[in-house]
A and B are shown apart, each in its own frame.
Chain A
């Protein structure tokens, strides 16, 4: 990884004073992850270039890792792009190598830091989510931006370009301090991977380094989210502080976790009507994307998924059940709605993902729940493909957006487990309505709404399945659309409500 900063200021070698690094020497220093070498490939009065070569130790990165992982594979592999890419390691090196310059101090020539200089920067290489992003991040700050693309593999032209670019920035006149600060904040944002744990401290750093320019930056939302790695707990307060009172666009605050303060949105659901989704361009449902991209800031007030959950919770409550099952409870959104209903005596949430259950326990504050409340709910790991005695004896069961995550040939097992063995008195099954997909602008024909969906059924297909299941297991079934009905394609989601036919 190489960063060079050149200037044609006269005398150009003043760059050495500014950076507090002698142009006549090659200096090396220990930085996080390896070594940084600072040297000047050219140093004349006309033109001076300072280079920072970041030499990361690939083995140390893997072996020397301490603390929690959880940031993907990047640091767990020896085959790793970190040594070649401008990342948070570069930011760390920048602040160590050029900390004085970044703070705008220069002992020998105290006025120099306030000088706007003509500067050119080269970064070899940056990793970016797309070729337009370097421009979107740096142009608003007055830079002239140029990128060189790199093929992913020159021997396989059909693979196209890689995500790596050599970045050239030019500015007519800017303080070196500002350039360094911009690089410090924006290079990790482009790269989108942090080598260390993100804590509140990180938000403070962002406010400190970006306070002067980030609030005016058109991509401030993107920058903040990526800088803070989407940790909602830090993103939103930070954005708010950045905006200092201005109305916050988009980004919905994290779900209020407090219990019993419900009521919102329920009234709208009473009639089965759901609100204000743009009919022409409905947003993609806000399910967890594989890339971990946070929900787009264009989320409507209540997402499609939340509407679905509220509808199911409402329907369940109408039955006045004592014991309720949430099969595939995920992070526990439906569980929270159910807990608000005091007449439900016991709720069992099951999911196949242990991680999701851990998050659910956290979000529901199971650990701090008062003892009586605590007896109302349990979370278990389980799979709908295995018979499970623990699922017997419930009045209602919900399978919200679950079946489409199973291969069609496993549905028979699910059917046997839920309808054959567990046999709750009522079962609520929701699934996307494929007929509706044509209204999703971002969805190509034949594509599913979520990468992990194994199928998406039309209303007719879902009805056929539900009817057959009901018949085989002595249930009656009613099919309903969920969300606003559109003529010809129905509602975005569909639900089958099964009721056991009581034997006389």
Chain B
């Protein structure tokens, strides 16, 4: 009975081998998705309009290789439908599989010449093929069969006749061992242990694991049992999925694993430890460490990836000739008294370790020496070698050790990578990767990363077990991080909050992250596209005028006005804003007075050290105030310093730092007066227009008055019109003057914050606007001379009286010269019937609009034309910018690397270069 399924790894390059007429295309179509098949005939067709044009083969195969490469790069199983009977044809394909760390699989379709000839004869396009073609194909195929393994094929399926070929009903896709995406944790990821058993025990206990030593009664007993802590808190409540999904582990203890796992999860899900390898060597108790880890892995309370030291021990145990150095001698001496049965258990255990794991839906990767993005979730010798050893540059440093290639510095992947291997004085984030080997065996610490909490937990080494060949802190540390570690002595007892941020080490952004057409995934909208020419404009602004990108956590979105009012003499009115929200299902809105100043984002730290710690900016003061385009608001450094110090003091007085458990804050605010930043604009445009109008119009009036006195037809009408224009110009001058006052000192500046955007580890997009208003009102009380609370009111849209009162409020505000108000849904992130709603709509006053639409905009004939305006483009833009702004800040507080935050900020700036009516 021939087999009816073929097994292939889920990610493989499947190369069909068979003569023309062997039925490869039929076979492929029957068993694979059409998109998975790359066929040489189809490629010939694409480049030559003729699938049989052999003269096009060279071009066709270039195309085929290109397609295969793109698919493999993206991690897709691919089937190559070509004869592939010659080694020279297979060679580039195997090379591609290697390049992309994909397993090459050969499926040989071996049919007799007669069958192939018969099939070709039925096809008009192949009828002309001579018998000799098939014969020579078959000959080449037979010669190939011997060499396939040597050529690098890991799986070879040889189907020897038509019966065997037709019998195959399905292809089973085996999951790669490293694919554990269904395991979502939470995890405690532990760095290099190197035989430091006491420290490991202490660390596990600190993490809440219960360790019980047991008597050894059977050779398979490990003498220790560990129970992982229950997952606490609803945020991390996730169910172990070990029971649901078959885990094809080579390990025979599978059933046992499941039994224990289900036992453990009987009273709820538990955490899981992840060991990053290098369990052994150099330290005092490698066998005990092995016992404990093996026990945990067997019980399903831990995962473990191998380190180079573990593998070297394995090779030794397997009888390979390895140099006994770098602490292996100690391990062997410690293993000496252990029973053979234990040693063979160790061998079995180490042999079964998988180079790396991809966990939690692809969001987390663990590997001893780290792993580049291209290698994650792939299987090849190169992947395994990289996971074990990393990559060295080929140079040797002054301590005689190889200089390691810092893959993490260039890491751009989406998955967080936790790794060890290279001892560092402190675990620090770099591009969403973290090295957890804090050199315990060298007298440093043993460190664990709690995932997804991103908290570091460490215990100090009891002693120096081994002198490092190269001092742990051999790298010149940044001034910031050295100050930091001075303030937090080693071995602090409580869990150390994630201190050093990845911002400290990152300096350079890559041009690829911002140029060209960008597609940014956001949590509020599925994806925001940035067009290339917008990015072009933003690159210039960002490079020439913006602050250092580390300051730019957030850029505020643009805001649309209400739809045009139908009321006479008005362009905007609150009724349209209320209608918009009510129509889309919003029940309550918040109306906030709009301050006419400059929109600013403020980032301020409790002290300079906070900025150094969190932003990695050294010597740049305690904060920055920047504009919508990322420019520094201040040009006067002394005023800037004084302003920020005063704001910081206000925050301290208000007890803000303690209340929000933070040492920095990011605020969205309006800074007044308008003229503080816009003085030049006020002078060259706004005041200039008033000056010109008020100089010219009286003279026109005088001339027309004389003409009217001469009873010239039409002079009266023109005179009346000119007088109206004169009045309009006077009103206009009054309007802009209201927002200007001289700034001689700090006392003349007013800051009106209206959103508390973020503090350490948190954003406040989940709080409603009333909360923001109240929180910031309390803050304003700390320094009323500097801070202005924004008057606001909450309006239930279902209550006509309240709505009417709100409209009256707006009417009064604007009649008194106010700019107007902003209407926001009660929730910060408003979801309505059609998805995300406008986060805010502005409703500007009649007089204020003179400085937008010109002095005469209310004159007959003008207003009617101005009513023709379209807010749609503006609103679309506002939504996309809002989504990007929120995304960037969320990424920042989650500790994501600079480039991920910068991408969003850059995106907002790029969108701002879209052509929309600037008056809206």
Contacts and interface: CB of A to CB of B under 8 A. Distances in A.
Interface of A: 1-2, 4, 24-26, 28, 37, 39-43, 51, 53, 58-59, 63, 73, 76-81, 83-85, 122, 124-125, 127, 148, 150-153, 155-156, 158-159, 162-164, 166, 352-354, 381-390, 405, 407, 409-410, 412-413, 416-417, 420-421, 452
B894 to A, nearest CB: 23
Contacts of A84: 689, 692-693, 695-697
A199 B526 CA distance: 48
Contact of B707 (A51, A79, A80): A51
Given A79-B689, A387-B508, A159 B683 contact: yes
B220 interface: no
A28 B536 CA distance: 48
B438 to A, nearest CB: 27
A150 B698 CA distance: 13
Nearest to B706: A41
9 contacts: A26-B713, A37-B718, A53-B700, A59-B866, A77-B854, A79-B854, A150-B694, A152-B688, A407-B547
A43 B703 CA distance: 12
B862 interface: yes
B699 A166 contact: yes
Given A151-B691, A384-B543, A24 B703 contact: no
B861 to A, nearest CB: 8
Contacts of B852: 78-79
A124 B696 contact: yes
- CB-based closest 4 A-B pairs: A78-B854, A41-B706, A162-B691, A84-B692
Contact of B692 (A122, A127, A384): A127
Interface stretch (B112-120, B248-256, B452-460, B510-518): B510-518
Contacts of A78: 852-854, 857, 919
B692 to A, nearest CB: 4
A292 to B, nearest CB: 14
Contacts of B548: 407, 409-410
A388 B511 contact: yes
Contact of B712 (A25, A153, A390, A416): A25
Interface string B504-537: 0001111111110000000000000000000011
A77 B918 CA distance: 9
Given A2-B703, A41-B707, A382-B511, A63 B688 contact: no
Nearest to A417: B508
A409 B624 CA distance: 14
Contacts of B854: 58-59, 77-80
A41 B710 contact: yes
Interface residues of B, number: 63
Contact of A385 (B543, B690, B703): B543
Contacts of A381: 515, 536, 539
B695 A166 contact: yes
Interface of B: 507-515, 536-537, 539-540, 542-544, 547-549, 617, 620, 683, 685-697, 699-700, 703-704, 706-707, 710, 712-715, 718, 733, 737, 740, 742, 851-857, 862, 865-866, 918-919
Interface centre among B514, B712, B714, B740 (most CB of A within 10 A): B712
Given A385-B509, A390-B511, 5 more contacts: A40-B710, A77-B685, A164-B692, A386-B511, A386-B513
B707 A386 contact: no
B222 to A, nearest CB: 49
Contacts of A73: 685
A430 B856 CA distance: 52
B682 to A, nearest CB: 9
A166 B696 CA distance: 8
A197 B726 CA distance: 31
A124 B695 contact: yes
Contacts of B695: 84, 124-125, 148, 150, 162, 164, 166
A198 to B, nearest CB: 23
Given A4-B703, A80-B854, A152 B696 contact: no
A158 B329 CA distance: 85
Contact of B620 (A76, A127, A153, A409): A409
Nearest to A77: B685
Given A153-B733, A352-B543, A385-B543, A413 B712 contact: no
A495 B641 CA distance: 34
Contact of A412 (B507, B688, B857): B507
Given A41-B710, A58-B854, A387-B510, A405 B685 contact: no
Contacts of A421: 508
A386 B509 contact: yes
Contacts of A150: 691-692, 694-695
A351 to B, nearest CB: 9
A81 B620 CA distance: 42
A383 B707 contact: no
B693 A152 contact: no
Contacts of B688: 81, 152, 162-164
A79 B686 contact: yes
Nearest to A2: B700
A58 B856 CA distance: 8
B685 A354 contact: no
A80 B742 CA distance: 24
Contacts of A85: 692, 696
Contacts of B537: 354
A81 B689 CA distance: 5
A291 to B, nearest CB: 11
Nearest to B551: A409
A417 B511 CA distance: 10
A124 B699 contact: yes
Given A39-B707, A84-B697, A164-B692, A416 B511 contact: no
A383 B539 CA distance: 7
A125 B511 contact: no
Nearest to B540: A352
A122 B697 CA distance: 14
A388 B509 CA distance: 9
A26 to B, nearest CB: 4
Contacts of B714: 26, 28, 37
Interface centre among A1, A4, A41, A150 (most CB of B within 10 A): A41
A58 B729 CA distance: 13
Contact of B700 (A63, A124, A407): A124
